[in-house]
Amino acid sequence: MNWWEGLQSLQDAIYSEWVAPLLFAMGLGNLLEMGYTAMAWWVMGLCQVIFIAGVLMPLERWRPVEPPQWTAQVRVDVLYTLIHRLGVFRLVFFFTLEPWVQAFINALRLAGLPTFSIDQLWPGVTDVGWVSFLIYLVVLDALNYGYHRLQHQWEPLWALHALHHSQRHLNAWTDNRNHLLDDALHASLMSVVALIIGVEPGQFLVWVALTQLAESLQHANLRLAWWPWAERWFVSPRFHRLHHAIGIGHEFPGAVLGGHNFGVLFPWWDLIFRTARYDPHFYETGIRDQVELGRDYGQGFWHQQALGLVRLWRSWRSAA
């Protein structure tokens, strides 16, 4: 039995022993299919948590940028990771939005208007699963770059996204340190686009898992960069750490919102749009006003979420 068959066996066992009986007992038999898919996401999330704890954390102790810490702020990052990786956060949006998106597409077709699916681009080639998946990977990564850059240049989105940058001790658990509203907006956007371009649920699961694993590595407290040619092809921990650097990653010169290195998987977009910055140094991380003025971005989970809403409200009022 290979590892994939092992994951499917675990998924089947949990579903048949616990999930299906629970759904029937609650009168939710109409959700059996979603429950089965949710187990695939939960098992994949569990594997990611094990990978972070069993692989990335030892690597952080082996070659850290700064001495490894186990502070209250790092423990909050662990909580965020468990909520997102085991709570099938994106699954909810994908399946909740699917009927609406499909109804919209059907309405366009009934009206005689053209609809788009990547599988239609190159018949006979894009019908091959791995080819269409690679195209999806590139398209969704480009969208991730654009949305991430908007988070840094539009005050209301930055008011929420700033929480992610407030971690002074970047670590392998930091990727999911986000405001829940920020994550809901991002997950909705990615789910709608994925559905419109024809991403299958199984492909969406693999894309999410691959992206999240890469982001966990990129945020690790790990003194690591790729070979010079590879640094132009894949985002490394050093490339992404600079995105979190104080006064560099979230600002343009003159303390204007912006920054560098927004790419999620590929740095191509940063190179194309001239936001890439390659630097051999591993800088301290955080936000300028947090470091220089002592601005509080919250200590615990609920405190961080509340302060994010306060910042959002103030940004709207100042823009009005």
Q: pLDDT tens per residue, the chain (320 residues)?
A: 555 566 667 667 776 776 667 767 777 666 677 667 777 778 888 889 999 999 999 999 999 999 998 999 999 999 999 988 887 666 666 666 666 666 766 676 676 655 566 666 666 555 556 777 888 899 999 999 999 999 999 999 999 999 999 999 999 999 999 999 999 899 888 888 888 887 877 788 888 889 999 999 999 999 999 999 999 999 999 999 999 999 888 876 656 678 899 999 999 999 999 999 999 999 999 999 998 888 999 999 999 999 999 999 999 887 66
The answer to whether 45 and 88 have CB atoms below 8 angstroms apart is yes
Q: What is the pLDDT of residue 317?
A: 84
Q: Tell me the domain boundaries of the chain.
A: 35-319
Q: Collapsing DSSP states into helix, strand and coil, what is residue 245? A: strand
Helix (H, G, I), strand (E, B) or coil at 117: coil
The dihedral formed by the CA atoms of 94, 268, 51 and 36, expressed in degrees to the nearest 10:
20
Q: Which of 296, 320, 318 is nearest to 308 (CA)?
A: 296
In angstroms, the CA 282 to CA 151 distance is 23
Distance CA 36, CA 12 (A): 8
Question: For helices 180-196 and 201-219, what crossing angle results, to 10°?
Answer: 140
Strand pairing partners for 245? 285
Q: Are 156 and 315 in contact (CB under 8 A)?
A: yes
